[in-house]
Amino acid sequence: MMVAPGRVIWLEGLPGAGKTTLADALVPRLRRSGRVADRLDGDEIRRNLSSDLGYDREGRLAQARRVAFLAEVLSRNGVFVVVALITPYQASREEARARLGDRLLEVHLACPLEVCEARDPKGMYHRARAGEMRHLTGIDDPFEAPEHPDLTLRTDLLSVEECVGRIERAL
Amino acid sequence: MMVAPGRVIWLEGLPGAGKTTLADALVPRLRRSGRVADRLDGDEIRRNLSSDLGYDREGRLAQARRVAFLAEVLSRNGVFVVVALITPYQASREEARARLGDRLLEVHLACPLEVCEARDPKGMYHRARAGEMRHLTGIDDPFEAPEHPDLTLRTDLLSVEECVGRIERAL
């Protein structure tokens, strides 16, 4: 059976911007609407595919490249893929676009650093400020402003429900 | 939509044993029988996910681990996955079994080395004998005998069509 390709909903943004929360809400919603859907998150991919990679620029570019490949293989088999990955570099977003074309829906979860840091769901900002970890995006690692996102969601102003609705309408 | 998981048909064997040929025949057949099907072959995965890995034991184990992860993600989304990978080490086969459980159909393409070498589809045996390449499985790299394959196919004695039929009946 040849299936229609799925879409790749690529959630990018600072740690604490709400990528995981939104992916958690989005995947079941996509399934309820009759799609085959799954998520790829940075941590799962690092554990299984990328334990060799670091968090410097090269490591992050390679990680995003692998995620884009995996998303391509899934989406060409009809799966709607929700990617939750910081994706701090514009070069990665452009590579994903080149690979995925119209299948890609690039969604920037825009949330001020202060809000992300106050949320600090994994305690990483705390550790970075205490000098206990390096390469935290937003603190001592850059997050380049997305140049051509398909959608920008102010997750400090919108509810999760509103974000899900906007993504569904954009698909 | 929640889908029934697919199966992972893992073709293992020496270079020249017929993995690519069989995968080429099997994927369209699975699609004609109403399944969503795709293939993962060693070369594509190395290019996209594993350019960091070598062909020594550690590199091959890590490569097989990544392929098993990818096959898991695809099959949990209903895709029938045909893996074409030498998979020379028993440890890799056991890791794939542990990860994939009953979804895995481990198929050993058993073909005598002399036949594989006479076929030499990519010219690798020639280069290895000429001392121009190292780590060729069967020549200067081991292929451990599969201990618990679900199916063993003598690809020097069976036609491609017969091999496809046996795999279909085993699914």
| Range in A41-55, A67-81, A113-127, B154-168 the model is least confident about | A41-55
Does the pLDDT at position A16 exceed 90? Answer: yes
Of B7, B9, B18, B28, which is closest to residue B167 (Cα–Cα)?
Answer: B9
Residue A126 sits in a domain whose CATH number is 3.40.50.300
| B38/A77 CB distance under 8 A | yes
Average pLDDT estimate for B137-147: 94
How many folded domains does chain A comprise? Answer: 1
Query: What's the pLDDT score for residue B52?
Result: 85
Q: How far apart are CA B113 and CA A146, in angstroms?
A: 53
How far away is chain B from the Cα of A115, in angstroms, using its nearest Cα?
33
In a domain? residue A3: no
Does the pLDDT at position B11 exceed 90? Answer: yes
State whether ipTM is beyond 0.90: yes
In a domain? residue B2: no
Grade residue B42 by pLDDT with cuts at 50, 70 and 90.
confident
Grade residue B103 by pLDDT with cuts at 50, 70 and 90.
very high
- The β-bridge partners of B8 are B81, B104
In a domain? residue A2: no
DSSP letter string, A21-72: HHHHHHHHHHHHTT--EEEEEHHHHHHHT-TT--SSHHHHHHHHHHHHHHHH
Q: Which residue of B has its CA nearest to A68?
A: B48
Does the pLDDT at position B27 exceed 90? Answer: yes
How far away is chain A from the Cα of B71, in angstroms, using its nearest Cα?
10
In a domain? residue B63: yes
Q: Which domain holds residue B15?
A: 8-170
Query: What's the pLDDT score for residue A44?
Result: 87
Instruction: Write down the pTM of the prediction.
Output: 0.94
In a domain? residue B107: yes
Grade residue B41 by pLDDT with cuts at 50, 70 and 90.
confident
How far away is chain A from the Cα of B49, in angstroms, using its nearest Cα?
6
| B36/A1 CB distance under 8 A | yes
Grade residue B129 by pLDDT with cuts at 50, 70 and 90.
very high
Query: What's the pLDDT score for residue A25?
Result: 97
Chain A residues close to B78, C-beta within 8 Å: 36
> What average pLDDT is seen over chain B?
95
pLDDT in tens, A52-72: 888 999 999 999 999 999 999
Average pLDDT estimate for B110-119: 95
In a domain? residue A1: no
Grade residue A49 by pLDDT with cuts at 50, 70 and 90.
confident
In a domain? residue A56: yes
Chain A residues close to B41, C-beta within 8 Å: none
Q: CB count, 10 Å around CB of B12?
A: 24
Q: Which residue of B has its CA nearest to A99?
A: B48
| A74/B77 CB distance under 8 A | yes
| B49/A40 CB distance under 8 A | no
pLDDT in tens, A136-168: 999 989 999 999 999 999 999 999 999 999 999
Does the pLDDT at position B50 exceed 90? Answer: no
In a domain? residue B109: yes
